[in-house]
Structure 1
Amino acid sequence: MTSSQLLTEPSRLRRRFGSRASGTDGAPAKRPRLYALDGMRLFAALSVMSFHWTAYVGIDGIWQGITPKQALPALNRVAAYGWLGVELFFVISGFVICMSCWGKRPGEFFISRVVRLYPGYWAGIALTTTVVLGLKQYARHTAGDGIDASTVLGNLTMLQTPLGMRHIDGVYWTLWVEMRFYLLFAIVVALGLTYRKVVAFCGIWTILAVLAPQAQIPLLTTMAMPNESPFFIAGIGMYLMYRFGQNLLLWGIVGFSWILALTRLTAIKEVYVSVLGHGLSWNVMAAVVTLAFLLVLGAALGAFNRIQWKWLTVAGALTFPLYLIHQEVGWTLIHFLLTHGLGVSAALVVALVSMLITAYLIHRVVERPGSKVLKNALDRSMATLRRSSDEPEPVRR
């Protein structure tokens, strides 16, 4: 099969894959909802939570003089790799963003990202700031340092990293990674999403990500994201498999991204070794990353289509608010519970249940109504913008 045949247009795809591609844009026949992805997202969030609560040495102060390793040695050994849930998030994000934005105009893509992220994010900032400043005696001793009106305002933009400001909660660093992915993918959305263009995007981004460290151009490295890009690109490739069917080119995109992801693990590993205070096995890390790839790939290829548990939709909805609030708020709550006489295991269970309930409330009370109001307002704004753009230029005398 030649490269031109692999880079086929939807009409050829329909001939090749039959019912797997139908409609003028090569859309597949209606398929079951991918509930498994919702479950994977919650699993990833809980994995990251386990890392922060029972492995991260930066929380020694809330364990009343003992380290998590001393308190829960068996759990600590497993949770030390929980941060790899972030990499699973990135693979899922590549898949889901490509899926949710297919056929959308740039304005619709912009609105979808704003209404999906900002209401819950703003609620997370409000809760974290209130808890950290209101319960300073139970928060980490450095948690409230530098949190003033300027820092809060900067965090509200979700651009605190390029603004040179601290994160109100450390987990927000991943939001800047996601934001850069959206900015890059918006280019393809603006050009019009097609199979050919998305494949080209994956190839170009891969090349830039490989070259960026050697080029030593800060802006290129910032946007190319050498450490994170293989996960997003793999997710995109998996979605193309889901939409158009398998072929050698798409397997090549996913396989090459997997190899690059494994090669980047050494650099990523150094960051987590420094905060853990002990070594990590590259083999274990590679196995977990491979499992993350296989899970999303399995969803793309229909391996989990039989999973139609509707409660997983709720689990998926909890993921984002849970991720946003679990670190600083969670640490503060655990310290509070330990200080008031609960044992370690009991404190962790109570904190987990409390975080899940709070995440659900944020979703129902803030995210759902807030997203609806924000979307309606932005839709009206975009409609006005389109009408104004269609108006003829005034005659100048």
Structure 2
Amino acid sequence: MSKRQFPNIDILRFFAACLVMFYHLAVSSWAAAGVQSANILGGRASFPELLPYFWSGFVGVEIFFVISGFVISFSAERSEAFSFARSRVFRLYPAAWICSTISLVALIYANIAPPESYLKPYFHSLLLSPKYPWIDSVYWTLGIEISFYALIFLVLAVGFWEFKTTIAYVLGSVSAAYWICGYLVMPQFLASHLWSRPLELSLVPYGCYFALGMMLFFHAARGLTSREKIFCGVLAIGATIEIMFKAEHANRVFHSAQSNWVPVAIFVIFVALAASALTWQPERKLATCLRQLGLATYPLYLLHDNAGTVLMSWLLDNLTGYRFLALAVTMVACIATALLIALVLEPPIRGFLAALWRPRKSRGAVIQDG
């Protein structure tokens, strides 16, 4: 496959990040008692009017996993194990170092806990440790992403990437079977292990999403066979069950009674848009803008929750009675900061890392993905 760009993936990735941002800032920051952002906000404001619209924004994470399956498959297609690992390190760590430092400074400013209590979470975040605690709860997904990257690295290292379709089948089948069989036989186990860290890192709960992303890649590269289309349907069933369990959990946390099918519908729409617009190639300027938004997605995801809530709290203290204005300004500031990080602050760090870690000869160029 030639070195192509997929602008629809960039824009869908950005919208997914915005969905998660709305979920955290407009809903969980006040409706989820006990989470760090709620402690930061301290009851300064609530947005009950927005809860019916954004309570299901947690599904943006599942959309990220699908997009990751697509992008990582694209990257692995034209890279060796060494260059693949190098591209992942360059993509993940610079933004994490910058965003975790911003979050640390914001939390110290918020003064809701002793500064020394943030040292361990901060270093866990700098290292992208798979183990809690982190400077911001959003880092929980990165260990899962790294598990998937590690799987693809091992496949490349042993020269088995030519069996990528089989790998997608195994990964997706195990995950879909976990959800489908679990739903039919032991739903209580699924509910009680919804946030089991060992299970998450094993990719069992989320493998259906990464496999679905790999299938999207196969669809873009060569089209899907009838059997692969049926397999995508099985993956969709597993994903639906997982999202429904997450929706029930969210309703309990928010003391709401929203339809569990809403996040499922959002997920299906996003995946359908990704699949239907893979061949779309806009004119160069628009493609560049979309690419920049795509690159900003990762830092936006990392910094919007705690740092964003600290900013919103400060705005609420200084804009008394203008809660929606504070929310809007916070979201715009998070997006602007993410663009600054992706386009200005990250490149020099990547250049420094490139000087330290020089690549060996690769089979081809590796897409700078997210």
Q: CA RMSD in A?
A: 2.7
Over 3 Å counting, the alpha-carbon distance change for 1:295 and 1:201 in structure 2 is same
* Aligned match of 2:144: 177
Find 2:174's aligned residue among 208, 230, 245. 208
**Partners of 2:59 and 2:283 in 1: CA distance:** 24
Number of the residue aligned with 2:46: 67
* TM-score after normalising by structure 1: 0.78
Q: CA deviation at 1:276?
A: 2.1
Q: Which amino acid aligns with 1:147?
A: Y
1:305 and 2:281 equivalent? yes
Gap change, CA 1:212 and 1:76, over 3 Å in 2 = closer
- Matched with 1:357 is 336
1:236-255 matches, within 5 Å, as: 236-255=214-233
Among 70, 73, 80, the alignment partner of 2:55 is: 80
Alignment of 1:370 onto 2:359? no
Once residues 298 and 197 of structure 2 are traced to their aligned partners in structure 1, the CA distance between those partners, rounded to angstroms, is: 28
* 2:325 aligned partner, one-letter code: A
Question: Relative to 1, partners in 2 of residues 1:261 and 1:307: Cα closer, same or farther, differing over 3 Å?
Answer: farther
In structure 2, do the counterparts of structure 1 residues 312 and 179 end up closer, same or farther at CA, with 3 Å as the change threshold? same
CA contact (8 A) 1:227 1:268 kept: no
| Compared CA separation, residues 370 and 294, structure 1 to 2 (3 A) | same
Measured in 2, the distance between the counterparts of 1:76 and 1:143 equals 32
1:169-212 deviations in whole A, cap 9, x for unaligned? 011111111111111222222233645x1111012213333566
Partner of 1:225: 203
For the structure 1 residues 109 and 282, does the alpha-carbon distance in structure 2 shift closer, same or farther, using more than 3 Å as the test? same
Which runs of 4 or more aligned residues in structure 1 lie more than 6 Å from their structure 2 counterparts after TM superposition? 142-145, 213-220
Aligned to 1:23: none
- By relative contact order (CA 8 Å, sep 6+), the higher-ranking structure is 2
The match for 2:12 among 40, 65, 78 is 40
Name the counterpart of 1:393: none
Counterpart of 1:126 in structure 2 is 101
Q: Pick closer, same or farther for the CA change 1:115–1:344 going to 2, 3 Å.
A: same
1:151 to 94, 112, 121: 121
Aligned partner (choices 216, 228, 250) of residue 272 of structure 1: 250
* Whole-angstrom CA distance in 2 between matches of 1:126 and 1:220: 27
Q: 1:41 to 1:193 in 2, by over 3 A?
A: farther
Given the alignment, which residue of 233, 237, 243 partners 1:259?
Answer: 237
Question: 1-side partners of 2:208 and 2:140: how far apart?
Answer: 18
State the alpha-carbon separation in 1 of the partners of residues 309 and 3 from structure 2: 44
Secondary structure, counterpart of 1:246 in structure 2: coil
Residue aligning to 1:325: 303
Give unpaired runs (5+ residues) of structure 2.
362-370
CA distance in structure 1 between the partners assigned to 2:283 and 2:58 by the alignment: 26
Whole-angstrom CA distance in 2 between matches of 1:147 and 1:289: 34
Could you tell me how far apart the structure 2 residues matched to 1:176 and 1:220 are? 10
Aligned pair 1:102/2:81, yes or no?
A: no
Distance 1:369 1:246 in 2: 40
- Deviation, 1:222, is 4.2
Name the SS of the counterpart of 1:40 in structure 2.
helix
1:157 and 1:269, CA in 2 relative to 1: closer, same or farther beyond 3 A? same
Question: Does 2:178 align with 1:187?
Answer: no
3-state secondary structure, aligned to 2:204: coil
Task: Encode CA deviations 1:19-45: one digit per residue, 9 max, x unaligned.
Answer: xxxxxxxx3x665x3111111111011
In 2, Cα distance between equivalents of 1:346 and 1:223: 39
Aligned to 2:364: none
- The Cα offsets for residues 309-342 of structure 1, whole Å up to 9 and x where unpaired, read as 2311111121111111000011001010111125
Q: TM-score, normalised by structure 2?
A: 0.83
**Counterpart check, 1:336 vs 2:307:** no
2:172/2:207 contact within 8 Å kept: yes
Task: Tell me, yes or no, if the aligned pair for 2:103 and 2:303 is still in contact at 8 Å.
Answer: yes
